[in-house]
Structure 1
Amino acid sequence: MSSLTGKVALIQGGSRGIGAAIVKRLVADGASVAFTYVSSAAKAEALQNELIAGGGKALAIQADSADAQAVQRAVAATAEAFGGLDILVNNAGVLALGSVEDLSLAEFDKTLAINVRSVFVASQAALQHMGNGGRIINISSTNADRMPFAGGATYAMSKSALIGLVKGMARDLGPRGITVNNVQPGPVDTDMNPADGEMAPGMLGLMALDRYGTAEEIADFVAYLAGPQAGYITGASLTIDGGFGA
């Protein structure tokens, strides 16, 4: 029996990159998994169909994480389709780079809406369906603790905000045995930040390991936190960054 057999998970932002790797890993571990996407409908449908064809249970849901009502509907749709909700992974995020002198208020507000507010909205909605022993896992960033280059103030702020949110939520939900944690990746090889991209040489120069991480390595970490072995970990911001913050 797989470690997540009988569990239901929702991944915000799961059609590509780290999110897709998490979807695949949790399905492989036996969970029924719903995931949201914004505009990449073809990728989302292909991932859903691939997992179903392999004997898994998967559901793609169109929902913009900047839209609170859309997030709430996605949570409700997950619970209706699979009979409840045990694991919430908040992976949706945006990266707006720019000096505080130039970054627009619209970009600032969008960063907060997706990187912070959607975590609160999804978590609040999920708790209506989540029983004791549930899991809430946020995909944050090592930039919550270290921002070594210019232009990332707003992004770093949004990720560091999750540290305080998780600590407080862990206190609120501890009596229900629900754990709440952040996973803080460093540079990961995805289409948004490829290991051979423009930023790679600078990133590698900041790391202890001379390579980018893989989406599968992040998914492995998430799967551990979602499983029964991690029941005593809560309120933590756990870094997986190849020594970026060392």
Structure 2
Amino acid sequence: MKLLLTSGGITNDTIRAELTRLLGKDIADSDALLIPTAQWGQPACSPQSVWRTTSGRSSGRAGLVDLGWRSVGILELTALPSIGPERWTPWVRDADVLLVDGGEAVYLAHWMRESGLADLLPALDDTVWVGVSAGSMVLTPRIGDEFVDWRPGDGDRTLGVVDFAIFPHVDYPGWTENTREKAREWAARMPHRAYAIDDATAISVVGGAATVVSEGHWEKFPG
């Protein structure tokens, strides 16, 4: 699987060009599935915010579904255990890209395991994963207690698909808990290397190698 781990989505031409490179073809020739599940675990989200994401009307940031895809479908992970893998697995395998929206990363990790999607990821060699905020953080080993809003007993642990942590939305206007200083304090507590990225930055991962693509601000912290 090829990963494009963003803070705010496809927010500029540099990140969009990297998405096209990972796809290996134009966005207009690609089929996408949107995963909005993480929003249900985040107290700041609502049915209205889910609708804004799925309809492409997320104000104040780049959308996911309105990039010009050939087709877009919704994959709600909480529904998958009730219909069985023989039905939903072909949908995932046929998609060129999974668009994984933000919300609560621990909650998202739980439903990726419960649904079976986490087990399927290693077989999706050519699929691109585009994460936004928690949709990116879910693939890291841990997210830090300050980002946990859903606590079933697993602490801040997520899936560990990549070997680094992500602090998103650095210096986002009005978010006093997302300053660069807060990011450095967070990184000092993480047991592995980490990145702090703003909404104009993404981390591209292919074959385990991570590359930062950015028109904004970011910082890397050694483990």
Higher helix proportion = 1
Higher-Rg structure is 1
Name which structure has the greater RCO, CA cutoff 8 Å, separation 6+: 2
